[in-house]
Amino acid sequence: MEGWDDNYFDGQHELMLNVDEQETLELAQENFDTVVVVINSSNIMELGELEDDEDVDAVLWTGAPGETGFNALGEILTGEVSPSGRTVDLWARDFTQDPTFANFGQWQYTNIDEDNASTLRQPSHAAMQNNAYFVELEEGIYHGYRYYETAAEEGFIDYDDAVVYPFGHGLSYTDFEWELTSSAEPETDGTFEAEVEVTNTGDAAGRDVVQLYYTAPTHPVRSRRPTWCSATSPRPACWSPGSRRRSPSSFPWRTWPPTTTKTQRRGCSTRAPTS
């Protein structure tokens, strides 16, 4: 950001609050009793300072709302609608400590020519010119929540210090209780099935999102696996206070290499959003 942000400070990056945003927040806190910070960004951001700020009453992420999305924002802020969204990525406290950060930057190709770029002659492929940039994905599968969950399990990081909002996090104006009512695990290949009963125990109507995660065993030959992975698409449901509903979930399971006998039990559990 150095060179195009007039208020640039040493160490600043694009996905943290800049000076203008910090001053706007301070102005709001000086003049209003309630301060809600709306994050209008398609990317995750470094928001540890907002979460730690006792004068910030709420943080609401809108993503990219388009032309009409902010109509819903007004209904949420007035309490007409209870929020039910869940994060689809992990929000870290310090991006500079993330394994991917070392590969962020202005990394530019310098050797593109007609011999190694078959699309160079097509003007629509502007990215194949000599000013094209790239990002090295050295971390493999260990990025986002898969890195943080695994690193915390192995004692490499302190999860509470490193993570602001975990994968699948979201708040509501009401409360829910979960109960795993049934589950079925295949002997080898097949489908894992689970049913969760969700009860609205609060005073407002709202939606909860049932999320299913699994922990796969480490393969003796292939590379290691993350501590846990998201297994199914979230299943939202809407109901009034005191009501309950059952939400079935399933995901396919395949052992590798294929086997006809079960040699190791595969664990699976439901995980409620952190409040």
pLDDT tens per residue across span 111-120: 776 566 545 4
DSSP conformational letter for 258: -
Please state the pTM of the whole predicted model: 0.75
Degrees, nearest 5: CA angle 271-274-275: 140
Instruction: Reply yes or no on whether the pLDDT at 154 is more than 80.
Output: yes
Instruction: Reply yes or no on whether the pLDDT at 263 is more than 50.
Output: no
**Residue ranges per domain, the chain?**
19-81, 92-165, 176-270
- For residues 177-203, average pLDDT: 85
Per-residue pLDDT at 66:
87
Query: Distance between CA atoms of 254 and 219, rounded to whole angstroms?
Result: 13
Which residue from 37, 139, 64, 51 is spatially nearest to 97, judged by alpha carbons? 139
Instruction: Reply yes or no on whether the pLDDT at 173 is more than 90.
Output: yes
CA 221 to chain centre: 30
Instruction: Reply yes or no on whether the pLDDT at 274 is more than 50.
Output: no
Which residue from 42, 116, 37 is spatially nearest to 77, judged by alpha carbons? 37
The CATH fold assigned to 176-270 is Immunoglobulin-like (2.60.40)
Question: Within 10 Å of residue 67's Cβ, how many Cβ atoms?
Answer: 6
Token readout for 111 is 């050797």
Query: Distance between CA atoms of 162 and 46, rounded to whole angstroms?
Result: 11
pLDDT band at residue 227 using 50, 70 and 90 as cut-offs? low
Instruction: Reply yes or no on whether the pLDDT at 129 is more than 90.
Output: no
